[in-house]
Amino acid sequence: MGYSAPEAGGLKVWTTLITNTAYLSGLLTLDYSLKKVGSKYPLVVLYTDSFPADGHKALDSRGIAKQHVPYLLPKANKDFTNDMRFYDCWSKLTPFSLVKYDRVVQLDSDMVVLQNMDELMDITLDAAEMKGTGDRVFAASHACVCNPLHKPHYPKNWVPANCAYTTQHDSPDIAQTAGPPATAGLGIPNGGLQVVNPSQAIYDKIIEQLSSSATSQYDFADQSLLGDVFHGRWVALPYVYNALKTLRWKGIHDAIWRDESVKNVHYILSPKPWDEWTDGQRQDGQSHDPSHAWWISLNAERLAEEQQRGLADGF
């Protein structure tokens, strides 16, 4: 009792957050990829006040739904000079507030969907009426805490021995269909994909935590907050739903990665695939990361289709 999968035909949507046009080509290719794999559900773009007019025009001309959301920041100051993107990431917590929907699956705009994953709309989570007190508050894949680029400002405990995915190296078959337990490794979800039953009570808990001094210790913004407030009380999905491109790298988690299993690729860190693509042309003869070729191919396909429709706005 107390568990809820949305009713068939209920309001279920994908969402993605955007604050400026730097990620807009990524967002448009994400939308294209969802449609290409035949998702039954629409993408709703969550935009903040800073999103400019040319961005709105690009969304409107493609018929992509959008909704304004507040720009969230914690009350305690947190210096993200080394990772400026994290200032925007707090607003990825707003899907918990979208109570007009039965189910929201939040996606980062630097993702592409390679296989249909509509089943995320029906996995069992705690009912909204439980107000965030249960053990299945939301679903996500684990964050990788290996720090493969050896960034010096990352926490000292972000090492392969503490990574949840390291626990699956000896069981790669299982890793394709089941995530490590929510408490494995450091027990931190990656905020790039969140499966949510919106609940005002849960959102209130999140807003309350944003007012707490604890946020000054959160190195990774939204996902640090979720991992702290709901520690061990979330559903850990297999990596295939949020396949961080770094997992594929040799010596990171290539022991579990299988190209044919991946449903959704997440292009974390820089450069992004679109950084290697200017005016419809690759900037150099070879991508810096082989997985970028998947995005570049989908993006080229999208641009070709849009051009046929007379749509060419540079995004």
The HSE-up count of residue 118 (CA atoms within 13 Å, CB side) is 13
Q: What's the pLDDT tens digit per position in 193-243? A: 999 999 999 999 999 999 888 888 888 888 989 999 999 999 999 999 999
CA 304 to chain centre: 26
Q: Where are the domains of the chain?
A: 10-308
Q: Kindly tell me if the per-residue pLDDT of 176 is higher than 90.
A: yes
Task: Kindly indicate the confidence band of residue 6, based on its pLDDT and cuts at 50, 70 and 90.
Answer: very low
CATH number of this structure's domain 10-308, picked from the four choices 3.40.50.1980, 2.40.50.140, 3.90.550.10, 3.60.15.10: 3.90.550.10
Give the pLDDT confidence score for residue 79 in this predicted structure.
65
Q: Tell me the three-class secondary structure of the chain, residue by residue.
A: CCEECCCCCCCEEEEEEECCHHHHHHHHHHHHHHHHCCCCCCEEEEECCCCCHHHHHHHHHCCCEEEECCCCCCCCCCCCCCCCCHHHHHHHHHHHHCCCCCEEEEECCCEEECCCCHHHHCCCEECHHHCCCCCCCEEEEECCCCCCCCCCCCCCCCCHHHCHHHHHCCCHHHHCCCCCCCCCCCCCECCCEEEECCCHHHHHHHHHHHCCHHHHHCCCHHHHHHHHHCCCCCEEECHHHCEEHHHHCCCCCCCCCCCCCCCEEECCCCCCHHHHEECCEECCCCCCCCCHHHHHHHHHHHHHHHHHCCCCCCC
Give the pLDDT confidence score for residue 222 in this predicted structure.
87
Give the pLDDT confidence score for residue 88 in this predicted structure.
78
Tell me the C-alpha to C-alpha distance, in Å, between residue 283 and each of 163, 227, 298, 307.
34, 38, 17, 21
For residues 91 and 69, is the Cβ–Cβ distance under 8 A?
yes
Angle at which helices 292-308 and 24-36 cross, to 10°: 80
Q: What's the pLDDT tens digit per position in 113-153? A: 999 999 999 999 999 999 999 999 999 999 999 999 999 98
Selection from 314, 207, 211, 192 nearest residue 265 by Cα = 192
Task: Kindly indicate the confidence band of residue 34, based on its pLDDT and cuts at 50, 70 and 90.
Answer: very high
Give the pLDDT confidence score for residue 87 in this predicted structure.
55
Mean pLDDT of 296-304: 96
The HSE-up count of residue 306 (CA atoms within 13 Å, CB side) is 22
CA 151 to chain centre: 21
The HSE-up count of residue 43 (CA atoms within 13 Å, CB side) is 29
Give the pLDDT confidence score for residue 259 in this predicted structure.
98
Max mean pLDDT among 218-227, 268-277, 294-303 falls in 294-303
Q: How many CB atoms lie within 10 A of CB 150?
A: 8
Mean pLDDT of 169-173: 98
Average per-residue pLDDT in the chain? Answer: 91
Tell me the C-alpha to C-alpha distance, in Å, between residue 29 and each of 38, 74, 162, 218.
14, 31, 34, 31
- Residue 69 backbone phi and psi in degrees, to 5: -135, 155
Give the pLDDT confidence score for residue 89 in this predicted structure.
83
- The lowest-confidence range among 51-55, 74-78, 87-91, 100-104 is 74-78
Give the pLDDT confidence score for residue 64 in this predicted structure.
98
More confident residue, 5 or 183: 183
